[in-house]
Chains A and B, each alone.
Chain A
Amino acid sequence: MINRKKFDFTLLGLLVCLIIMGCVAIFSASTTVIGQHVSIQNHWWKQVIFAFISLGAIALLLKLPMPIFDIIVLPMFILNILALIVVLFTPAVNGSHRWFSFGGINYQPSETAKLFTILMVARIISREHLNEYRQIFYGFLIVLLPVAIIIIEPDFGTTLVFWTSLMAMLIAADVPVFYVLLFISPVVSIISSLWWYAIPIWIIIFVLLLLRARLSWVAVTVAGIANVFIALITPVLWMGLKDYQQNRILTFLDPTRDPLGAGYQIIQAKIAIGSGSVYGKGWLMGTQKNMNFLPEHHTDFIFSVIGEEFGFIGSLLLLGMFIAFFSRIIKNTGELKIKERKVATAGILAYLMFQSFINIGMNIGLVPATGIPLPFISYGGSNLLINTISVGVILKYLNERGFIK
């Protein structure tokens, strides 16, 4: 099943390293030391079991004949969409309808939806003789399907992952970069409107970039004016919002405004990570962790445990591992020659990379708090499984390459 010449052992090795680091962190996160008293929750061995299941899943995936793999993408995508709809009718957990729960294992359909949507988009937009507009249009339509449902759950953070993946895939599908630039330009315009002097700087950069892409003058002018308009209208719309609506948005951007809710967690995570300092407090010795200031620190805030116990050195090691891992995938996208597979790999890359960035950024207060776990590290069986399978898909593509130079 494994083609020794083609199989990417380095990528697999990096993956296993990340999973092992995750298990080490989760073991610490589920341990509490009070005086001489030590108590351990059963999270860590559940994660170890799931790690083995996940690696087993990769083995199975590699064995699966390629034609069958190709065929099941569409039915799985449809099933997943149905699951997303059904999950809306389950009882709410913490105010949102995201989880199916079977005997202690929680399955979140939006997790699997990421992979299947990526595969589906890759399938459609990589077809021959499709012009850029169609590529963008079809990609947009397919992504909109799961996103529209997930927004209802509500789970805003997850939907961002879909859009990021879509953009990476469009680039991989040879859609000129300036389309993506056009895509994200309104978002940047809105952000730049916070500081009025940022608006002209941004618009100038934007126009220069478009010109460099050899776009016609007319298109550049239209795009430029549109963005100036967006940047100027934003404050007006903002004033039109009700106080509580403004508050909700501001709290999302700056959680410390809500010290009894999300802000409390962010501050506690920052204290934990910051107090880890250069060398950390040592494995299992994190005081903030042991005092349990942060609830649920084995899931979304697992990075705070790593930062506290292993310090800057440990964080550096983990980030380095992630960088090596993603670089390896980027290198692989260049080596895949079948367009669909290349596009899919780019989508998976973007989805894992975006989640890692958002999660760590959230832990150190760099980006707003959204419920996005750290891939391979955070506790969560189904999450680990689907992330690993995504990497498995890349490994499979590499394994099935036609020829190697």
Chain B
Amino acid sequence: MTKSYATLVYRVTLIVLFSLLLGSLFRLQVIKGAKYQRIAESNFVRIRRITATRGEIYDNKYRPIVSNVPSHNLFLTSGKIHNFPALAKFLDRNFGIKEEDLHQLVLKQRFKTYEEILLADNIQYEKILMLSEQMNYYPELSFRIGATREYLYPNHFTGYVGRINEKEYELYRKEDYSLNSYIGKTGLERYYEVLLRGKDGREIVQVDAQGRSLELFAENSNVEPLNGLSVVLTIDNDLQKFVSDTFPSGMNGAVVVSDIRTGGILAYVSKPDYDPNLFMQKISPDIWKFLNRPEKPMMDRVIHGSYPPGSIFKPLTASIGLDSGIVTPYTKLAACVGGMKIGNRFFRCWNRGGHGSTNVIDALRVSCDVYFYDLSLKLSLEKMREYAVKNHLFGKTGIDLPNERQGFFPNTEWYKKTYGKNVGIIGHKVNLSIGQGEVLTTPIQMNAFYAALANNGLWTQPHLLKQTMGRGRLTREQLMPLTRKPLPIKQSTIKTIQQGLWAVVNAPGGTGANAKASSGTVYGKTGSAENSMGRTTHAWFCGYLVTTKPEIVVTVFLENAGGGGALAAPITRRIFDYYIGNLEEIKKVTPLPAKFRTAQDVPTEVPEEEVDPPEVVEPITEVTP
């Protein structure tokens, strides 16, 4: 057998390589074994997440709406559990955590047993003091200070945060969420989660039981967290509070106040409301029952409810007639005798006494149904639908809140699908012309539509976010450009409609006389929409205020309250009066608070505050006896 050269090379290589391995292993396990045993016993080398501070939410004058407050949380390190039954009993007695749930938690975390699990948050300080002695028996438990959210007032737009659930964790785990993470569940907290959240940092824990550094890793290898961006809203806290307070108690409904030119929402109220702070603690069954009572306080009626608009829809019907030249502002249509006979059906006007023959402005003023019945006979359903779509009353407005409900307007196809091939369209069309029947809109859509009418036909997307603050300052336009689109309505038509809306409030016999404000000019339209939810009508009022220029648009919606002119219009007036009375206060530009100032602001802002007082060096006087 020839000993080849190659075999020798292989043997030498094998011996060299494996001697290296054996030598290293000997050094690691035999010589340094004791040291590593000590490190292993302390179980202290690990990476810990440093949670980024969530961005806060402010109103347009930098007053807080949602802020962070410290909270005490209880954590469990499952790898350190020694006596499971005792632990389970302790937690059940003091924190109401059932043994089964605990078992599930531990099981879920079994591949990261060194990572802490958040067991309970927002624990009262008294409770911590009470338990501190017993805690010594459970080294696997630890209290730690974290942050929780505080919501300044009950509302529907901020939403709330909550612990990430299993479904969300699966969905977002790639985006660096842990099982302990909080995530925005609804409202702005959810919509702007990406901005508010920031980026968690990492800390390398490498100390032994005595607190000495193990020097396994370089110092300063931590990754600092990037705090979330704070968010400034278009909401005005004072106005919001006024609107919320002026809302008649015991009624359900919504009020939206927005700036006509910017489209920014100044007040956003849905009643009854709920306190988002409730969700920051474990919700008791009683509270849960209260939140789910028949009045549905959790429902955001501004965007999550779509309702028949009733007469506030009439300007749209009128504009189709005017635009297409079927009627002129002076054309009088069929005489109202308390209703109108179409085919062999009699369609009633709301006023049994009748309005006689009217033109478009008078029809709007007295809200005569017959004028629009007659007009609808000359319009095609498809044209009406097209107008509803182009005026953003169909579909969504794209407001910066999650789960916006769509508005709806039927077309022939829809009727055929729903009622069969031989459906008579005319009867439905007559109903649709006055905003009854199958048409549904959300209060926010009506608000945006009237804002567009006030703004000479330029529709602006309603929105809540004004700008971000903190690490990056971005306006809403830089973040997500707003949709601004002219309505399809002709300028001359808009002028006519505006005259009609003026007459509603200001002309004698107008249905919206209750909305007339102390100064400034109010335009608007009342609505009392019949609906399937109850016998009484929904009360609507959409109106806008013009002083020297268009100011604000207000939409009031009261669920099953009664007539719009009697109930909704006075609320609108109070809001207009408040707005005019506090015009200077509301319009005042607030200087940027100091904590948001960055280097680039310093030269332009008042420099006095930045200058440190000169240091006074105290002469050291030696006291000699």
Contact = CB atoms under 8 A, between A and B. Distances in A.
Given A267-B217, A323-B18, A349-B10, A293 B30 contact: no
A223 interface: no
Interface stretch (B108-116, B256-264, B365-373, B451-459): B108-116
A269 B10 CA distance: 29
Given A271-B45, A357-B18, A39 B107 contact: yes
Interface stretch (B20-28, B472-480, B514-522, B534-542): B20-28
A316 B24 CA distance: 12
B78 A171 contact: no
Interface string B330-355: 00000000000000000000000000
Nearest to A278: B30
A144 B600 CA distance: 55
B139 to A, nearest CB: 13
Contact of B217 (A259, A278, A287): A259
Nearest to B28: A274
Most buried by B among A291, A295, A326: A291
Contact of A357 (B21, B78, B110): B21
A125 interface: no
B33 A32 contact: no
A290 B41 CA distance: 12
Interface string B434-469: 000000000000000000000000000000000000
Contacts of A349: 10
Interface in A270-328: 270-278, 287-288, 290-293, 295, 307, 311-312, 315-316, 319, 322-323, 326-327
Nearest to B221: A259
Nearest to B40: A275
B200 to A, nearest CB: 12
A4 interface: no
B106 A260 contact: no
A1 to B, nearest CB: 26
B29 A278 contact: yes
Interface stretch (B1-9, B157-165, B236-244, B505-513): B1-9
A360 B21 CA distance: 7
Nearest to B77: A291
B10 A330 contact: yes
Contacts of A32: 110-111, 113
B113 A291 contact: yes
Contacts of A273: 25, 28-29, 36
B145 interface: no
B618 to A, nearest CB: 46
A256 B218 contact: yes
B11 A292 contact: no
Interface string A329-351: 01101110000000000100110
A291 B218 CA distance: 23
A401 interface: no
A353 B14 contact: yes
Interface in B31-89: 32-37, 39-41, 43, 45-47, 78-79, 81-84
A330 B7 contact: yes
A275 B39 contact: yes
Contact of B113 (A34, A177, A357): A34
A268 interface: yes
A35 B20 CA distance: 38
A264 B47 CA distance: 8
A39 B79 CA distance: 13
Contacts of A291: 43, 79, 113-114
Interface in B202-249: 202, 204, 216-218, 221, 223
A35 B113 contact: no
Given A316-B22, A353-B17, A366-B20, A311 B218 contact: no
Nearest to B112: A292
A322 to B, nearest CB: 7
Contact of A319 (B18, B32, B84, B106): B18
Contacts of A277: 29-30, 33-34, 36-37
Contact of A307 (B4, B11, B29): B29
Interface residues of A, number: 61
Nearest to B15: A323
Contact of A263 (B28, B46, B78, B217): B217
Contacts of B1: 334-335, 405
A37 B20 contact: no
A330 B202 CA distance: 48
A161 interface: no
A366 B22 CA distance: 11
A292 B77 CA distance: 12
B196 to A, nearest CB: 24
Contacts of B112: 292
A278 B33 CA distance: 7
A334 B40 CA distance: 46
Contacts of A315: 25, 29
Contact of B7 (A259, A334, A357): A334
Nearest to B32: A274
Contacts of A353: 13-14, 17
B466 to A, nearest CB: 37
Contacts of B46: 293
A267 B45 contact: yes
A275 B6 contact: no
Contacts of A292: 79, 110-114
A272 B33 CA distance: 10
A81 B382 CA distance: 60
B33 A260 contact: no
Nearest to A333: B7
Contact of B110 (A34, A260, A288, A334): A34
A353 B21 CA distance: 12
A256 B18 contact: no
A199 interface: no
A274 B223 contact: no
B40 A364 contact: no
A36 interface: yes
B3 A334 contact: yes
B14 A35 contact: no
A143 to B, nearest CB: 18
Contacts of B22: 316, 319
A43 B305 CA distance: 51
B21 A366 contact: yes
B557 to A, nearest CB: 48
Interface string B122-143: 0000000000000000000000
Contacts of A290: 79, 113
A123 interface: no
A391 B94 CA distance: 61
A393 interface: no
A357 B47 CA distance: 29
Contact of A260 (B11, B29, B113, B204): B204
Contacts of B2: 334
A6 interface: no
Contacts of B30: 277-278, 312
Given A34-B110, A259-B221, A260-B223, A366 B202 contact: no
A259 B218 contact: yes
B221 A327 contact: no
A267 B43 CA distance: 13
A200 interface: no
Contact of B84 (A35, A168, A171, A312): A35
Contact of B11 (A35, A319, A330): A330
Contacts of B34: 277
Contacts of A271: 36, 39-40, 45, 216
A37 B29 contact: no
Contact of B37 (A256, A275, A350): A275
Given A32-B113, A171-B9, A271-B216, 5 more contacts: A260-B47, A260-B221, A295-B111, A330-B7, A330-B14
7 contacts: A277-B33, A287-B40, A293-B45, A307-B29, A350-B10, A353-B14, A357-B17
**Which 9 residue pairs are nearest across A and B when measured between Cβ atoms?**
A274-B36, A277-B33, A275-B40, A259-B217, A312-B29, A275-B36, A291-B79, A35-B81, A259-B221
